[in-house]
Every structure is written in C-alpha cells, then in structure tokens.
Amino acid sequence: MELAKLNLEDSDLSFTITTTLSASEALKLLRDNSFDCIVSDYKMPEMNGVQLCTEVRKTSEIPFIIYTARGSEEVASAAFAAGIDDYVRKEATSAHYKLLAKRIRHTVEKKRAEKELQHTEEELRASNEQVQEYANKLERMVDDRTSKLKESEERLRAFIDSTEDGFGLFDSQLRLIDLNKVGLQLFLMGSPPGTTKEDLIGKRYSEIFPGIEKTERYEAMLRVLRTGEPMHWEGASWVSPDIWHSNTAFLIGSNLGLVSRNISKQRNLQEELQRAEVISAVEQMGATVAHDLRGPLGQVVQAVNMTKQDPTLIPRMLQLIEENAVRSLKMIADWRSSTREIVPNPVNTDLIALVKNIIEGTTLPSNVEVEISLGKSLDLVKLDPDIMHRVIDNLVKNAVEAMPNGGKLTISAKKNDDKIVISVGDTGVGIPEGYKARIFSPLYTTKTGGMGLGLTYCRRAVGAQGGSIDFESEVGKGTTFTIRLPTQ
C-alpha cells in the first residue's frame, strides 16, 4: 500500500493520499474528513470493495474507483451496479501508476463538472419558472386599469430590475418600449460608447442591431407577433459569438416581451464534461490496445533473445515471431476498421458456398457438433462477400468460444419475403442480462484478451448494407445471432 501511495504521489504532486487497511476505518475517515476520491482494492478482510462502495453510497456521492488485480467481468458488473465511477486493473509496472493518477484526476474532475452542471441546470429551471411567473404578473398588470396602476408599475419595475435575466418590451413594430437593468447592459454591448437608455427607447430592434433582421431570432420574434404563440431558442449573442443566451419571446397584450439569460457558463461546463468523457474513452482505448499488444510483442522479444543464446532455435523462433507479428497486425486492423466508414461493394454471391467455405476454414474442437441448414435460391444473392465472410466468421468463432465444454453449432440461411435471414447459434454459456445492453458497444468484451471490436464491426457492417443484427440468449442454454439483409 505504501508503495502505491508513494508512486501515486510521485505521479501527481498535487495528490495528498491517506491510506488504511481497514474498511471500517475508511468509513470513519470519510465521516470525519473531506476527501476528493476513494480508491479501493476489491479483496479486503472485513468487506470487499463492492460492499464498501455500497456503504459509502448510502451517505456520499464521492468518486469511487476499484483498483484490483483479481477482478473479473462479474466483479466489474457488480461494482458499477453498486455505483463506482471507474474500474482499473492493477499492472506490475511503475508506469501504470501514471495512468491510475490520470484516471483518478479525470474521475474527480468529471464528477465536479457534473455537480456544477446539475446546479446550473437547476438554476436555469428556477429562472424559467421565475420568467413565467413574471410574464403572468406582467400580463395581469397590463390589463389592470384600476387606480392602483402606478403602485403596480413601481412594484413591477422593482421586480424586473431585480431579476438576473435581461428583459425588453417591444411594440407590434418591434420598437423598443422598455428595458430592465440587465437588458440595458445587453443592448449597450452593441451600441456606440455613451449610448443611454433614452437613446434606445423608440428605436426599432433592427436599428439597434443593424443586420439582425436577416437572422432566425428576428424571424422568431415576428412569428410570435403573428401567431401569439411563445417561442424559446438558444444561440450566440449578436455582439459576441463567445456569449450564449437562452431566449423566450411571448405576447403581453399587443406587445412582445423578450427575456434573455446568459447560459455561457452552462455551455462551458457541458463542453468540459464532454472533453472529460472523450479523454476517458481515449485512455480506455489506449489501455486496451497496449494491454493486448503487450502479449505478442513480449513473445517476439523473448524469441529474439532465445535465438541470440541458441542459434539452432532460429527456425522455430522465426515461426513464433511471424505468428505474433500476424496476431499484432490483426489487432491493429481490427482497431482501424472499428473507426473507418464501411463502404460495401455488393455483387452476385453464392451464399451457400460462402458459408461452407467459412466452416471448412474454421478449426472446430472435436466436442463441437455442427448443423448447417441452407435454403433454396441462395446461390445468387446480392451482398458484399468479403464483408459478410468476416461477419459470419466472427459470429462462428464467438459461438465456438462460448462452448468450452462442447456443444452444438448451428448455421442457417434462407430467403424470407424480401429479406435474407442468416442465423448463427450455439448451446454455450449464454449472455447474462447485465451484459446484453452493451454487447455491441466498442471496447466491451466478456472474453479474456478480447478487444471488444468484433460485434461492433458486425453491427456496423450489416447496417452499412441496409440490414440489421440482433440476438437472443439465455444463460446456460446458448445464444443465437440473427442477421437480416435486404434481397435488393
């Protein structure tokens, strides 16, 4: 633990780290002190990391990261269900602590941005309610012809000037009638120095902001005057592209009211949150590729060292180097294909021969039985043979890997109305409910050493040909993937 503490503090000098070997002591520290993040192992004496997170979540939303070398997909699924923010596997390299430090910082910054964004959105909702309340009050006051009109106008003025939103009142020709303090500040931003409120009153909106009559916001205000229906829109300020406003236009009698609120801070928070999510996704991708390439490249280095020690091993080691180089190149190809646009080249294809060729080229365990059912009129169908070979081959390999103790592999293809229906099924372990929603997501895999790109490619490849792919699965009974392609 002390080694991890020292390495983390060395990786990020701004970190101050408190450590404990006891889960109960950790809960006590959390009650008595203020922390930015919890990093917990999974295996611990009193309770495991998931149980600790469950206890913490009863009273706190503090960022929580599980950092373990003994995890599994089941542990990760349970951990995220309990409310953890990130799940990092330990690696026995000092450089890994820099990655862990970055994950800690991004998790904390993301949580802070989410909280601040939530607070800003709550303020915006409250402001919208205030605007509506204000509009209702204003309309009632305009209609009020009693002797208390002057008193009501004074109260209204105090209310308008106290709000954080800019307000402008225009007649039916969009001539300015009145402004509150915030509204005056907004209008003066587009006016020459020395301009006063009196200089602006009576001018048309297009005179105050020349050229604005060509914009959508101007059309929106005219539409409100024509239809009587209020409108809301967001956009950059007319005087500065860096300032964004949330605008609401509505009728007050025969006049038009315009309320504007500065939402630049909220937009900046949204952009910061998006950047944090992108950084987190890129780091996760990088960690996945680095992890998967480390194995084959390590074997290449080992083979080179062995040939230096014993030249008689050169033929065998060259073969080993070639195998691992090919394996590495395939990983890189999978990585690149996961982001490239897939452009099919459909030609007349013998689907029956394609399926048989895939089975013949697949090394099947002796305890796996194969059943093939191919319908009629499949010897001349329009599709991209290279893309579909890769898709079906991927599904077949997944099915075989899902039956480590043997089972039955079924492949069927048929024409059904205007669709070509291809199914690949197995009697293997099945897919748990918690995994089904993410099974086509990039970098998501339940297989050790997998990159999580195969099924992502399958969905994109089938979709690029105007088709669809879905699946049915039951734990302990197996899984069937079904592809539907247009006959064209």
DSSP 8-class letter at 452: S
Four-point Cα dihedral 148, 150, 153, 158, nearest 10: -110
Contact 238, 221 (CB under 8 A): no
pLDDT over 80 (residue 52):
yes
pLDDT over 50 (residue 347):
yes
Domain with CATH 1.10.287 in the chain: 278-337
Q: Which residues pair with 258 in a beta bridge?
A: 168, 249
User: DSSP for 126-171?
Assistant: HHHHHHHHHHHHHHHHHH--STTHHHHHHHHHHHHHHSSSEEEEE-
Contact 211, 218 (CB under 8 A): no
- pLDDT tens for residues 118-151? 888 888 888 778 877 876 777 776 666 555 656 6
SS3 content of the chain, % helix, strand, coil (to 5): 50, 20, 30
Residue range 7-30: mean pLDDT, rounded: 86
Topology of the domain comprising 347-486:
Heat Shock Protein 90 (3.30.565)
SS3 22: coil
Instruction: Supply the pLDDT for residue 451.
Output: 45
Which of 293-297, 367-371, 408-412, 450-454 comes out lowest in average pLDDT?
450-454
Residue range 34-54: mean pLDDT, rounded: 90
Q: For residues 273 and 228, which has the higher predicted lDDT (pLDDT)?
A: 228
In this prediction the pTM is: 0.38
Contact 235, 247 (CB under 8 A): yes
Cα end-to-end distance, the chain, whole Å: 62
Q: Where are the beta strands (DSSP E) in 302-406?
A: 347-349, 368-374, 381-383
Measured distance CA(38)–CA(19) in Å, rounded: 10
Q: Which CATH architecture has domain 2-93?
A: 3-Layer(aba) Sandwich (3.40)
pLDDT over 90 (residue 426):
yes
Nearest to 175 by CA among 80, 255, 243, 265: 255
Domain with CATH 3.30.565.10 in the chain: 347-486
Which of 13-17, 152-156, 348-352, 417-421 comes out lowest in average pLDDT?
152-156
Nearest to 281 by CA among 342, 339, 334: 339
Instruction: Supply the pLDDT for residue 164.
Output: 74
Residue range 364-378: mean pLDDT, rounded: 90
Measured distance CA(202)–CA(474) in Å, rounded: 72
Instruction: Supply the pLDDT for residue 438.
Output: 76
Topology of the domain comprising 278-337:
Helix Hairpins (1.10.287)
Q: For residues 331 and 211, which has the higher predicted lDDT (pLDDT)?
A: 211
For 418, phi and psi rounded to 5 degrees?
Answer: -100, 20
Domain with CATH 3.30.450.20 in the chain: 116-266
Domain with CATH 3.40.50.2300 in the chain: 2-93
Per-residue CA distances from 40 to 23, 63, 84, 131, 388 (Å): 9, 11, 10, 46, 45
Nearest to 80 by CA among 43, 47, 42: 42
Topology of the domain comprising 116-266:
Beta-Lactamase (3.30.450)
Contact 419, 463 (CB under 8 A): no
- Both tokens of residue 300? 């290449």
Instruction: Supply the pLDDT for residue 428.
Output: 93
pLDDT over 60 (residue 295):
yes
